[in-house]
Every structure is written in C-alpha cells, then in structure tokens.
Chain A
Amino acid sequence: MMLKIENLHAGIDGREILKGIDLEVNAGEVHAIMGPNGSGKSTMSNVLAGHPAYRVTGGSVTFKGRDLLSMNAEERSHEGLFMSFQYPVEIPGVSMTNFMRTAINEKRKALGENPLPPADFLKLVKAKRDLVKLDAKFMNRSVNEGFSGGEKKRNEIFQMAMLEPSLSILDETDSGLDIDALRIVADGVNRLRSAETSVIVITHYQRLLDYIKPDVVHVLYQGRIIKTAGPELALELEERGYDWVIREFEGSVG
C-alpha cells in the first residue's frame, strides 16, 4: 500500500477543516479528489505535505508502511512524497539550478548516497526539461520569478520528474492553464506514471482528468469523503455539478 489515511482530523488556526478522512491509495493508482470550493481539498494536500501551519488533531496516515505524520516536510519529501503547488512560490535570488541541485543532493544525503556528480546532474536536468518542454534558460533564473502561469506549472512537473517521487499530489495543477500547457503538464505526469508510483490529483474541474485518467474518483465535502467511485463519476460531476452528491450524502446520514 502506498498511502493509508484513517479518520484524519486536521485544521488551521484552531479551526477543524478535515473531519475524518479515510483513503487508501495503492501503488500504481491514480486517484482524483474533487469537490466544491471550501471542501478542504487544499488543506488535505498541505496536511499530507507537512505544512507547519496545519495541525493534525486525530487519525493516522501511513506512507509506504511508515508513520507520515511523525515526519517533517523535508523528511516526507526524502521518503518520496511530492506536492505540486497550486501557487508555486517565487524565490528571488535562488537560481533554479542551485535550488534543484540542493534538493536532489539533500535527498541523496538523507538516503545515505553521495552527491550527484555535476555532469550527471546536468544530464538529468536536460532529460527532465525535455519532458515538459522547459527551456534551458529557466535554469539560470530565480525559482519561478517572472515565470508565466503555464511555465510555473511546467516547472512543478519538471521538479517532480527530477525528484522521482513515489507519491505525487497535484494540487489544482490545472488552474490558470491554457489548453496547450495543460496537455504538456498532463503528458509529463502520464510519462512519469509507473506500477510503483501513485498520483493524487486534486481538482475542482473535470478538465484535467480528460488527460490524466484516474482509477478512482472521490468527492470531498465539508472535510469528509462523501462518495467514491470509478472514473465515470468525474464526468457525471462535470455534467450535473456537486449538488446531487451532497443531497445523496445528506439523505444517507439523515
């Protein structure tokens, strides 16, 4: 099992947002988590990635057999968890090359490996840039600074490719993307898929799921997963909206 979330409660600033999440993701699977605004989608990805501002108040998360919640953000990353940010952060003065080299080598250090020789690093960069059609010039620029919306998202997938995570959480990766950029990003994600890696796609719209085909679709509402079904659910949500699922759920809990 890649990821097992049991009765997860979490929030921020004393406000509980996740109110008992249960989720299981197997290796090789793609899960989509959909839901209306304010349902807790971003909180969930931030909590899984270990954002220090969020507090876990109950439940457990097991990642590849280990207790995820006992690790800090960088340890989770070293263990193979990656989150693509909805709003990638600009870091003036830190070049992409420096940033990426540090990230790669810190991971290797944590795994007890030697730093990647510079020539190998450059080769790796070249290969992974090609995957998302990211121009070489970006490597000398400050992280995300002055990147367009599409370039920022491609940069996220480039970093994902560089770090070769076992679990990738794509947080609203489709927001602010035109159709061409969306294709490039989705294509990159698809080419990184394997039987050993899993992806959680968090999205408000069905659009991205046309390109990244999920195995399982969940609906998140008021901090709980209220419905889980196959890929056909995404299409149905696109057509009919969320109201019917919510009504169905509220009917069932009375």
Chain B
Amino acid sequence: MKPEQNYIELFDRNRALIDSGSARVMNGLRERASECLKLYGLPHKGLEEYLHTDVREWFLPDWGMNLGRLDMRVDKAQAFRCNVPNLSTLLYFLANDEFACSQTASRTSLPEGVFVGSLREAAESRPEIVGKYYGRLADMDRPGIAALNSMFAQDGMMIYVPDGVVMDKPLQLVTLLQSPVDMMVNRRVLVIVGRGAQLRLLMCDHALSANGFLTTQVTEAYAGPGSRLELYDLEETHNANLRVSELYLSQEQDSSVEADYMTLHNGRTRNTVSVMLKGRGAQLSLNGIGTIDREQHLDIMTFVDHRVPDCTSNELFKYVLDDSATGAFAGKVLVRKDAQRTSSEQTNRNICLTRSSRMFTQPQLEIYADDVKCSHGATVGQLDERAMFYMRQRGIPEQEARMMLMQAFVGEVIGRVALEPLRDRLNRLVEKRFRGELSQCEGCRACR
C-alpha cells in the first residue's frame, strides 16, 4: 500500500480527534489538504525536485502521532539550556508541537498588538488574523509536505507584529523533540510582520531523546511593506532524525528579509524555501551552511520568484561533507517578464572531504525579463592542497590546518549573519563540530 493511503485512512478515522485538539481555522483547511494529498501524493525520487531525497520513503514506517494530545511531559527548562551568549532573547518552546513560554518571556510584556504564542490559541482568540494568513502561502497543489502537514498539524506558533512595531529583542523558538517511542510531529509556524515592522526570529531545532523522529514543519512568513525580517533556522538534531521543512515567504514592497539555514548536525533533512518577491524593491538574503558526516543527508531546495521590478536576491550556500554524507542543493530563480532590473546572485560551494561523500548541485535560472543582472555559480571540490602545505610549512599541523580551512570556508556564510551574537556562537559551534566535539545538540542536557 502506498504510504499516502495509510495517512488518508488514519486521517479519516481520527478526524474528530484531530479537530478537537486544534482550532476551527486550522480544521477548516484539512478537507482540502486531504484531497490534495490524494491527488499529488508525497514527494518521491521520480520527481525532479526530489531527485536526491525520497521523502515518501520516510513515511513508510507506521509512525505514531500524538493526535490525542497526551501530555508528553517535556521538561523544557530542565532539558534545555540555550547558550548563545550575549544574546538576550525572548525564549519560547515547541515541545513536539505544543507551545510553551519561558518564564522570562511570560513575564515580559510585549509591545501593544504583538502576539507571540500558540497557533491553536491564536486561531481561537484571533481568528481574523489567523484566518487571513493561515494556509494562504503554503502550496498544497503539488507534491510536497504542505498537504500532509495541513491535514495533521494541530498546533505550532504564531508571531504577529503589527504595522510600525519594532521588536528590539530577538525571539528564539526552540523546538524540542521528546518521546519514549518513535514519533511523527507535524508543526506549523505563522509569522506576520506588518508594514515597517521589524522582527528577528531564531529557530533552534533539537531532539532530546535518541529514538527516531519524523518532523514536518511548514512555516508561512509575511513581510509587509518596508518591513525587516530575520529568520534563522538552526538544526542540531541526531542521526535518527528525519526532517522535512517548507518555508513559504512573501515579501511586499521595500521589505528586507534575511533567511539563514544552518544544519550543524542532523540525520536526514530536506528543507524547501519558496520566496515570492511581490513588491518592488524587496530584498532577500538567503544563506545556508551544512556540516554533515557519517550517513547524514542534507537536501536544500530554494525557489526565488522575482515577480516585479527592482528586487534583489542573494543566495550563498556552502556544504562540508565528510565520511559517507550526501548533500544536494537545487536553486531555482525565476525572473518573470515584468521583473525588470532584477538583481540576483546565487552561489553554492561545497567541499567533499572523502571519496565516499557525494554532493549534487543544480542551479537553475529562468529569466524572461531582458534588463536583469543575474549570476550563479556552483562548485564541488576538496580542501586546497596548496594552502594545506603552506600552513604545514609554517608549523600548523595537518589536522589543525584542515580545521582552519573548513572553518574559513563556512565562515564566509556565517559572516553574512546579521545577528552578531549568533555569528560568534556559530563560529564556535562550527569549530566544535569540525573538531568532532559536537555530536548531538549543544545545549541539551539529555545529549551530554
């Protein structure tokens, strides 16, 4: 039996249970989502966009889901100590898919009109907002994860920053996976940044228990006119972790967005980023690093849609692959006929440290406007042997020289991170990772 059928049956059998653990606005999308899953199925290797990652295969096991919303007793404070130093954040948690507030965050009064909290709760208390934005960007009419996620997601997080409000403190959302048995988690994040508003959001993805997890995460983010949004996604999970994430981002006129993906430790990961530049003068900086080894797998696909004139997009993704790790990057840029004076740059550089590591890279540009500045570049190579010898001649031991070169390689991406304390933290985390000291998630007591 195809896994899709399994999930559709599971959905049909448990519809009442799913609905009762969620909210009306979210429930309203489920029927269509299930139709879409029937029509388009789960993404598999036969599709060009999933050539290197058979996501459907991940769904074959009979994953448990906590649809009855039993208390999983995830002890946030005990389990997690975030140590991004000098970074004072308002800290929130998604324990599996259930929202929780840190003590400090719960005591802090947010600027007027700002909402940070459970998506389910928001759907009840602010249906006018959630109803307007939920499920509007996520594309279910194609093979992907949005349909299945919309069928089963019961909660998640919503951040709403109204027009003109600047959130001084960065928000940090720590997603924790903990369960006594293998489990599937479907969570949803909704981010709305109003006209001229500003938000910095750091999402840290961790797994606290060592058993298998399959997570689907769909994030819909709206950057209003003249707004500034920084979105950092940091994955530090473990080898038994499967993650499929989709980010749908829509940018209005003169908005400026930075979205950075940092996969420091994982199992198998597929991240899809889809950006719609729909207002003139919108600027996007989209970056990522992947440090993967053993049998780890990281597949990132980006799609940047230049719909209107005068927008800028800049992409830089770098992977370092060790052992038998496999990586894939596909970057699609579409410049529509009217999108004159588009400026778009895409770079993907990769280092394979071993013969058994594999990297697949595919830049893809579709340009229909004539007055544009677009460039792309992709390379797969090894560490520079000449630099290695030069450093060793100066007395730097081979291992140390390798370390420094790898760090310098990904350092270019980290240098683009706008949030300075995070930059420092990343440099240290990456160094630890390359030294083999970061085997699981930094900051999780369970993994120490």
Whole-angstrom distance between the Cβ of B264 and the nearest chain A Cβ: 18
CA distance A24 to B385 in the complex (A): 31
Q: Are B397 and A106 in contact (CB under 8 A)?
A: yes
Which residues of A sit under 8 angstroms from B395, Cβ to Cβ? 74, 77-78, 103-104, 106-107, 110, 163
For A98, give the chain B residue with the smallest CB separation: B404
CA distance A99 to B398 in the complex (A): 13
CA distance A102 to B405 in the complex (A): 13
Whole-angstrom distance between the Cβ of B412 and the nearest chain A Cβ: 6
Q: Are A49 and B398 in contact (CB under 8 A)?
A: no
Which residues of B sit under 8 angstroms from A99, Cβ to Cβ? 391, 394, 396, 404
Q: Point out the residue from B389, B397, B398, B405 that lies within 8 Å of A94, measured CB to CB.
A: B405
For A110, give the chain B residue with the smallest CB separation: B395
Q: With an 8 A cutoff between CB atoms, is A52 at the interface?
A: yes
Q: With an 8 A cutoff between CB atoms, is A85 at the interface?
A: yes
CA distance A92 to B408 in the complex (A): 7
Which residues of B sit under 8 angstroms from A198, Cβ to Cβ? none
Q: Are A83 and B391 in contact (CB under 8 A)?
A: no
Q: Are B400 and A51 in contact (CB under 8 A)?
A: no
Which residues of A sit under 8 angstroms from B393, Cβ to Cβ? 49-50, 73-74, 76-77, 82-83, 85
Q: With an 8 A cutoff between CB atoms, is B384 at the interface?
A: yes
Known: A72-B398, A74-B398, A93-B411. A102 touches B404 (CB 8 A): yes
CA distance A240 to B26 in the complex (A): 91
CA distance A105 to B412 in the complex (A): 25
For B415, give the chain A residue with the smallest CB separation: A93
Known: A91-B408, A93-B409, A94-B405. A85 touches B390 (CB 8 A): yes
**Mask for B356-391, Cβ within 8 A of A = 1, else 0?**
000000000000000000000000000011110111
Which residues of B sit under 8 angstroms from A142, Cβ to Cβ? 408
Which residues of A sit under 8 angstroms from B387, Cβ to Cβ? 89-91
CA distance A155 to B12 in the complex (A): 72
Whole-angstrom distance between the Cβ of A101 and the nearest chain B Cβ: 10
Q: Are B397 and A74 in contact (CB under 8 A)?
A: yes
CA distance A222 to B181 in the complex (A): 71
Q: With an 8 A cutoff between CB atoms, is B56 at the interface?
A: no
For B399, give the chain A residue with the smallest CB separation: A74
**Mask for B398-441, Cβ within 8 A of A = 1, else 0?**
10100011011101100000000000000000000000000000
Q: Are A91 and B409 in contact (CB under 8 A)?
A: no
Q: With an 8 A cutoff between CB atoms, is B392 at the interface?
A: yes
Q: Are A102 and B389 in contact (CB under 8 A)?
A: no
Q: Are B389 and A93 in contact (CB under 8 A)?
A: no
CA distance A103 to B394 in the complex (A): 6
Which residues of A sit under 8 angstroms from B404, Cβ to Cβ? 94, 98-99, 102
For A162, give the chain B residue with the smallest CB separation: B394
Q: With an 8 A cutoff between CB atoms, is A159 at the interface?
A: yes
Q: With an 8 A cutoff between CB atoms, is A231 at the interface?
A: no
Q: Point out the residue from A73, A90, A163 that lies within 8 Å of B389, measured CB to CB.
A: A73
CA distance A51 to B388 in the complex (A): 10
CA distance A83 to B409 in the complex (A): 26
Which residues of A sit under 8 angstroms from B411, Cβ to Cβ? 93
Number of interface residues of A (CB under 8 A): 32
Q: Are B384 and A74 in contact (CB under 8 A)?
A: no
**Mask for A46-77, Cβ within 8 A of B = 1, else 0?**
00011111000000000000000000111011
Q: Are B389 and A77 in contact (CB under 8 A)?
A: no
Q: Are A91 and B389 in contact (CB under 8 A)?
A: no
Q: Point out the residue from A52, A85, A92, A103 that lies within 8 Å of B396, measured CB to CB.
A: A103
Most buried by A among B384, B386, B391: B391
Which residues of B sit under 8 angstroms from A52, Cβ to Cβ? 389
CA distance A77 to B389 in the complex (A): 11
Q: Are B400 and A89 in contact (CB under 8 A)?
A: no
For A92, give the chain B residue with the smallest CB separation: B408
For B412, give the chain A residue with the smallest CB separation: A93
Most buried by B among A49, A82, A102, A107: A102
Q: Are A77 and B392 in contact (CB under 8 A)?
A: yes
Q: Are B407 and A93 in contact (CB under 8 A)?
A: yes
Within 8 A of A (CB), among B266-294: none
Which residues of B sit under 8 angstroms from A78, Cβ to Cβ? 395
Known: A98-B404, A102-B404. A159 touches B394 (CB 8 A): yes
Q: Are A102 and B408 in contact (CB under 8 A)?
A: no
CA distance A91 to B407 in the complex (A): 12
Which residues of B sit under 8 angstroms from A106, Cβ to Cβ? 395-397, 400
CA distance A103 to B397 in the complex (A): 9
CA distance A51 to B395 in the complex (A): 13
Which residues of B sit under 8 angstroms from A98, Cβ to Cβ? 404
Q: With an 8 A cutoff between CB atoms, is A36 at the interface?
A: no
Most buried by A among B384, B386, B394: B394
Q: Are B390 and A102 in contact (CB under 8 A)?
A: no
For B388, give the chain A residue with the smallest CB separation: A52
CA distance A215 to B228 in the complex (A): 68
Q: With an 8 A cutoff between CB atoms, is A149 at the interface?
A: no
Q: Are A91 and B398 in contact (CB under 8 A)?
A: no
For A52, give the chain B residue with the smallest CB separation: B389
Most buried by A among B386, B389, B398, B407: B389
Whole-angstrom distance between the Cβ of A138 and the nearest chain B Cβ: 16
CA distance A76 to B34 in the complex (A): 68
Q: Are A72 and B392 in contact (CB under 8 A)?
A: yes
CA distance A88 to B405 in the complex (A): 16
**Mask for A14-50, Cβ within 8 A of B = 1, else 0?**
0000000000000000000000000000000000011
Most buried by B among A52, A93, A106, A110: A93
Instruction: Knowing that A74-B396, A142-B408 touch, tell me 10 more A-B residue pairs with CB under 8 angstroms.
Output: A74-B398, A82-B393, A85-B393, A89-B384, A91-B390, A93-B408, A99-B396, A99-B404, A106-B395, A163-B395
Residues of B within 8 A of A (CB): 384-387, 389-398, 400, 404-405, 407-409, 411-412
9 A-B residue pairings within 8 Å (CB atoms): A49-B393, A50-B393, A53-B385, A72-B392, A73-B392, A74-B398, A78-B395, A82-B393, A91-B387
Top 10 closest pairs, chain A to chain B, by CB: A93-B408, A77-B395, A73-B392, A89-B390, A103-B394, A107-B395, A74-B392, A93-B411, A94-B408, A89-B386
